[in-house]
Amino acid sequence: MKEREITALELGLGYHFRRRAVIEQAVTHSSQAREQEAQSAGESKYKVRDNEQLEFLGDAVLALVTSEELFQRFPQFREGELSKLRAHLVSERHLIQVAQQLELGHYLRLGRGEEKSGGRGKTALLVDALEAILAAIYLDGGLEVAREFVLRNVIAPELERMEQGGGTLPITDFKSALQEAVQSLGLPQPAYVLVEEAGPEHNKTFTVEARLHGKDKDGSFIGRANGSTKKTAEQDAARQVLTFLASRPKSGEGKAAARVPHTSDK
């Protein structure tokens, strides 16, 4: 890479590399590396390093930083909710947007065949380069610098977008979400009723019903759930009522027969 290209890339990344070789490797595709090796075959054979190994390391760094940030930022989330959010943040669908915003395609070192086939715009190549660059930052500057890069470019903007987009972050407090939902629909607040308590004192199971009463009898709905605590059962019962409300026709309060879902509805 030319000096001005490295400088421009560093400005876009917000990081200055002490070792230029590592950033050059991060943007070198295997097609370029093999092409260079072939050209030098008649002289002295040598191995040209591409970004595949760096991509492997960058993927691990990205997963670690993202997991740690979500763990710290959302202590109320369950494992499944954290996993779902992390999967989105490290997905190819999201990372390609980050790579495009950083204009990484301009800096890829490609073989002639890959260049002709439009490699600079290929999703897989761009995402791989992004992960390789993250690894390069980690190797050159350490974990804290790599963490700052991930937070600044991958995590923070997307979480902000999701929050502004109307609560697409995972719902963890279903009771509060249900309270807001029924208020917006002009319905009475649901009632939570403990209908059964079973098991020994140290291992009880609580069965709770969340009873939603519509403006007519046909609009009523009961969500029923079991839990090791009353609070857990109430949250799951509220979740079932939210699912019911979301499934109703939007044109009105369509008449829906009341039912008691089984715990398998979870």
Tell me the catalytic residues.
59, 131
User: Count of alpha carbons within 13 Å of 20, Cβ hemisphere only?
Assistant: 8
Supply φ then ψ for residue 193, to 5 degrees. Answer: -125, 125
Amino acid (one-letter) located at 9:
L
- Which residues sit opposite 225 in a β-bridge? 208
> Which of 221, 10, 204 is CA-nearest to residue 104?
10
Name the β-bridge partners of 227. 206
Structure tokens at 242: 């939210």
Give CA angle at 37 (112, 41), nearest 5°: 120
DSSP annotation of 98 reads: H
Cross-strand bridge partners of residue 109: 28
| DSSP codes joined into one string, 107-164 | G-B--HHHHHTTGGG-HHHHHHHHHHHHHHHHHHH-HHHHHHHHIIIIIHHHHHHHHH
β-bridge mates for residue 193, sequence order: 209
Cβ atoms of 217 and 236 within 8 Å: the answer is no
